[in-house]
Structure 1
Amino acid sequence: MASNNLSDLNDMLFNQLVRLDKDDINDDELKKEIDRSKAMNGIAHTIVDNARVVLDANKFMDTREDTNLKLPRMIGVKEDKEHD
């Protein structure tokens, strides 16, 4: 299941927490879940950091004094006239 938004990511992280909290998990399964959790944690941090950059860029666009000022396309903030 691919996560497409922060709500999906939140659900995935809580589901992982439930898997880690199982009482009947054996040592090998627990190690596997811990490794999976570490990988998910690293990816989750990257996704949240990326979302923070996009949010900051949107805030910048909303408060800029020079309306002709544009951000690099890689930031992902589009002007109203550019929306499909």
Structure 2
Amino acid sequence: MKNKLSDLNNHLFAQIERLSDEDLKAEDIDREARRGEAIVAVADQIIRNARLQIDAARLASEYGSDPTPYLPQIEGKRQ
């Protein structure tokens, strides 16, 4: 899997678009709402993991180490 943090916005906005489809029937809305809840739960964990990596990089930097290895990858590169 080669997803990047930047892909997360695309997935979240795609789900919003599906939920805002005015042609959805009640059953479809329920299914999309459940899917949306699952996506949000996974997205939350991805964000928490990225935050942990950033905190580790900050701590390494404060103690004089190179923070780069601890930073999350964005667009296939380290920032």
* TM-score, reference length from structure 2: 0.77
Give the fraction of aligned pairs with identical amino acids, expressed as a percent.
32
| Aligned match of 1:34 | 33
Distance 1:3 1:15, change over 3 A: farther
Structure with the larger RCO, 1 or 2 (CA within 8 Å, 6+ apart): 2
- What are the superposed Cα offsets for residues 25-69 of structure 1, whole Å, 9 maximum, x if unpaired? 01111100000000000000000000000011011111115x5xx
Greater share of strand = 2
1:1-84 pair list within 5 angstroms? 4-64=3-63, 77=70
The answer as to whether partners of 1:3 and 1:9 remain within 8 angstroms in 2 is no
Measured on the aligned residues, the alpha-carbon RMSD in Å equals 2.0
How many residues end up aligned between the 2 structures? 68
CA distance in 1, matches of 2:63, 2:38: 38
Q: List runs of 5+ in structure 1 lacking aligned partners.
A: 68-75, 79-84
* TM-score, reference length from structure 1: 0.73
Q: List runs of 5+ in structure 2 lacking aligned partners.
A: 72-79
